[in-house]
């Protein structure tokens, strides 16, 4: 089975930066979209950013201009560069990979923005 392993989360002050990585244990067949979601306790999981295999990118309005999603397909890895972090960005961040048949999820990595 495919495993998605996330890293890069942690505690950062407002205005700081973090870079999240999500590495797949092996190549995945028929990928359509890769992306990042986030979730806070008691709230629904929400989309942060997605990138298709064709290069189309979409961001949530709340992160536009601050976050950048990218992928290195040869390394089976997707990244989320987060700049200008705000306390409201605090959440568990989840990596996802969608194929025509199966959606895979990472275990989540905690991002806490606080002074």
Per residue in 29-87, pLDDT (tens digit) is 888 899 999 999 999 999 999 999 888 999 999 999 999 999 998 888 999 999 999 99
Question: Per-residue pLDDT for 8 more than 90?
Answer: yes
pLDDT of amino acid 34 = 95
Facing residues of 72 across strands? Answer: 77
pLDDT of amino acid 41 = 93
Closest CA to 105 of 41, 30, 45: 45
Q: How many residues does the chain have?
A: 115
Contact (Cβ atoms closer than 8 angstroms) between residue 36 and residue 94? yes
pLDDT of amino acid 53 = 87
pLDDT of amino acid 27 = 85
């Amino acid at each position: 089975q495919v495993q998605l392993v996330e890293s890069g989360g942690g505690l950062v002050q407002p205005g700081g930066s973090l870079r999240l990585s999500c590495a797949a244990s092996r190549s995945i067949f028929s990928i359509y979209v890769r992306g990042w979601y986030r979730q806070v306790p008691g709230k629904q999981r929400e989309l942060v950013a997605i990138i298709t295999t064709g290069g189309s990118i979409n961001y949530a309005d709340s992160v536009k201009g601050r976050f950048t999603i990218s992928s290195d397909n040869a390394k089976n890895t997707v990244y989320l560069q987060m700049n200008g972090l705000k306390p409201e960005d605090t959440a568990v961040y989840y990596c996802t990979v969608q194929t025509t048949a199966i959606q895979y999820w990472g275990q989540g990595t905690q991002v806490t923005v606080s002074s």
